[in-house]
Amino acid sequence: MSQKVLIADDAAFMRMMIKDILLSNGYEIAGEANNGLKAVELYKKEKPDIVMMDITMPEMDGITAVKEIRKLDPSAKVVMCSALGQQSMVMEAIQSGAKDFIVKPFQPDRVIEALKKVLG
Amino acid sequence: MDYRKFTELQIDALREVGNIGAGNAATALSQMIQKRIDMSVPEAAILPLEEMIQKIGNEEDMVVAVIIRVFGDAPGNMVFLLTMNSAHELLKMLLDEESEGDLTEMQISALQEIGNILTGAYINSIVKLTGMMLVSSVPAISVDMLYSLMTTAFIESGQFDEYIMSIEAKFIMGKKNIKGYFFYIPKPGSLEKLIQTLGLA
């Protein structure tokens, strides 16, 4: 059975890019959110297997969203995907419960590598 | 060149390119000054120059800008801009000494280097994302009134039209509210080429 991914990024273009990579590698899209708040709502509704989460988003940023999602579901699997690749950001994301961190711009392989690693 | 003809998706893509560039630049700067740098959600704005300037401050505000010319597949100008206050705060962080008034030679050199690193990171990330060939010039630093500086940078890029597109990101460093602005001011045709390379023509 295909694994379902929730994509959270405020850029439609980036969501499109990630969707293409996922679909051509056999994953299913659980949904798309354009801000952290919607990501949390969609997580509740769709219960995806994993979330690809941007950091810089309006309404609620990605790191806060990870924290909220983990409150709902302590076993939630989230992979951060952001242009902000500073050590402190990565640390904060991981401490908030993210399982991996991909820095933009990324190669498609990196995304698949991260998903395989986290989902097993 | 009327930028208002771009579709939502195309503008979104350009904004994301700007986001990636600025994010990488923020990371590079953060590594340099050993402090965390946050970034606001970037904007791709299509506005008259005057409105763009008003978003930053008053026309006569003194600002410092590092301007880099980009050559290659998507030529244009890249501007990293700071208000004088922000420049002083940044320099304090970098050089570890008080800063006010006119900029010293050392400070100008430091800002030039920061600008160089930032724009380099910005451009490298766009190259990685698009596969385009882009090279940058030696940075030029300018201390001038906001209005003069912005108009010069835009005119230099061949943008004479009323409506201008720029991709803007704000950096926020700590509680000191140091805001740095990033503008990629493309020469006519560069944005179209970028959109084409992204497969969205």
Q: What is the mean pLDDT of each run of 10 residues along chain A (120 residues)?
A: 92 89 96 97 97 93 96 96 84 95 90 94
pLDDT digits (tens, 9 = 90+) for B45-93: 777 778 888 888 888 999 999 888 889 998 888 888 888 988 998 888 7
Task: Judge if pTM exceeds 0.95.
Answer: no
Using CB atoms, pick whichever of B8, B24, B36 lies closest to residue A83.
B24
Name the packing angle between helices A36-46 and A62-72 (round to 10°). 30
Question: Chain B within 8 Å of A104 (Cβ-Cβ)?
Answer: yes
CB contact under 8 A, A56 and B30: no
**Is residue A119 assigned to a domain?**
no
Cβ within 8 Å, pair A11-B200: no
DSSP 8-state class, residue B36: -
Q: Which residue of A has its CA nearest to B126?
A: A105
Give A-chain residues touching B26 at CB under 8 angstroms: 83-84, 86
* A85:B20 CB<8 A: no
Q: Give the ipTM of the model, two decimals please.
A: 0.72
Host domain of residue A36: 4-106
Mutate which: A7, A10, A13, A34, vs B, most B CBs within 10 A: A13
Q: Which CB contacts under 8 angstroms, 24+ apart, belong to B154-158? A: B154/B49, B154/B185, B156/B77, B156/B185, B157/B76, B157/B77, B157/B185, B157/B186, B157/B187, B158/B187, B158/B188
Supply the range of the domain harboring residue B128. 3-197
Of A109, A49, A107, the residue nearest A79 (C-alpha) = A49
pLDDT of residue A83: 83
Contacts B123 to A, Cβ<8 Å: none
Domain count, chain B: 1
CATH no. for residue A52? 3.40.50.2300
Q: What pLDDT score was predicted for residue A89?
A: 85
- pLDDT top residue among B179 and A91: A91
| Residue A115 included in any domain | no
- Per-residue model confidence as pLDDT tens digits over B3-51: 677 888 888 888 888 888 888 888 888 887 778 888 777 777 777 778 8
| Separation of alpha carbons B64 and B85, rounded Å | 10
Residues of A with Cβ-Cβ distance to B15 under 8 angstroms: 11
Shortest Cα distance from A73 to chain B (angstroms)?
Answer: 27
Whether A105 and B41 lie within 8 Å, measured CB to CB: no
- pLDDT of A98: 96
Closest CA to B80 of B112, B103, B107, B109: B112
Q: Does A33 fall in a domain?
A: yes
In this structure, is residue A70 part of a structural domain? yes
| Extended beta strands in B6-152, E state | 38-39, 43-48, 62-72, 76-83, 134-136, 140-145
Beta-carbon count within 10 A of B164 CB: 23
Convert the pLDDT of each residue in A48-62 to its tens digit. Answer: 999 999 998 889 999
Provide the CATH number for the domain around residue B164.
3.40.1550.10
- Structural domains of chain A, count: 1
Burial of A94: CB neighbours in 10 Å, binned 0-12, 13-18, 19+: middle
| A105 contacts B125? CB cut-off 8 A | yes
3-state helix, strand, coil in chain A (%, to 5): 45, 20, 35
What digits encode the pLDDT tens for the residues B127-170? 888 889 998 888 889 999 999 988 888 777 776 555 666 667 77
* B24 part of contact set with chain A, CB < 8 Å: yes
Closest B-chain CA to A107: B129
